[in-house]
Amino acid sequence: MIILHKRETIENKYSRIDDQSTIKDIDNYTLINIYLLEKYRNEIVKKKLKVGLELFSDDNFELTEKNLSIFSMVQINFKTFKDGRPFSFAKKLRKQLDFKNEIRAGGHILPDQYIFLLRSGFDSVEIKKEDKDIWIEILDMDDGLYYQPD
């Protein structure tokens, strides 16, 4: 898998840990899920760590809205590309919760959704290396004309 940030591939600084992990395993740039967040939220805040949070499109997003400053990145994985909730959540993170760090999309997404992702507040996508060309090709087809304001 690669991380595509607009047209460029960027380094993935984040490493996933499993549910059995403890607070000792959590460091800066660790990618934690909602379960670990709920379990270790206070310790992460106390230790002033900057972690990544990995969510799924059917997760309860409200649980993540507290202590947003501990996240240096939020990754939202689409369980299916047809589930459009992440678009609203990304927009909420940007517009309502004033989240300034990286928002990344992952899971089952289509290159045809790339512009919608970027325009909703996502910065990057996690995709298969061999799919990069088609993602760029579709991005290049966009001429930047939209009816909605940013």
Partner 1 sequence: MYKYSKTDKQIVKARTKQFKNQVFRRIKGKLSEEEFKPLRLMNGLYLQLHAYMLRVAIPYGELSSNQLKKLAEIAKKYDKGYGHFTTRQNIQFNWPKLTDVPEILSELAEVEMHAIQTSGNCIRNLSSDHLAGIIKNEVEDPRPWCEIIRKWSTFHPEFSFLPRKFKIAVTGCDEDRAAIKVHDIGLKLINKNDRIGFEVYVGGGQGRSPYIAKKLRNFLKKGDLLNYLEAILSTYNELGRRDNIYKARIKILINELGIEKFKNKVEEKFKKFSNQELIIKKEDIKKIFSYFQLPKLNKKKGIVKNNKDPKYNIWLKQNVIKHKISGYSIVLISLKPLGKPPGDADAKQMKGIAKISDEYSFGEIRVTHEQNLVLPHIENKNLFLVWKKLRNLDISTPNIGLITDTICCPGMDYCALATARSIPISQKISNHFRNIENQKKIGDLKIKISGCINACGHHHVGNIGILGLDKNGAESYQITLGGSSKNDASIGQIVGPSFSEGNLLGAIEKIINLYKKNKKKNEDFLSVFRRIGISEFKKYLYDNTS
Closest contact distance (angstroms) between CB of 112 and partner 1 is 6
Q: Where are the alpha helices (DSSP H) in 33-131?
A: 34-46, 85-91, 114-120
Q: Which is nearer to partner 1, 26 or 125 (CB)?
A: 125
Question: Footprint of partner 1 on residues 68-107 (CB under 8 A)?
Answer: 81-85, 87-89, 91-92, 95-96
CA distance 3 to 12: 6
Look at residues 84, 31, 90 and name the one whose alpha carbon lies nearest to residue 65.
Answer: 90
Asked if 133 touches partner 1 (CB under 8 A), the answer is: no
Binding partner 1 (rule: CB under 8 A), the pick from 119, 126, 132, 139 is: 119
Element (H, E) at 21: none
Look at residues 115, 111, 118, 116 and name the one whose alpha carbon lies nearest to residue 132.
Answer: 111
The binding site for partner 1 (CB under 8 A) comprises: 58, 61, 81-85, 87-89, 91-92, 95-96, 110, 112-113, 115-117, 119-120, 134, 137-138, 141-143, 145-150
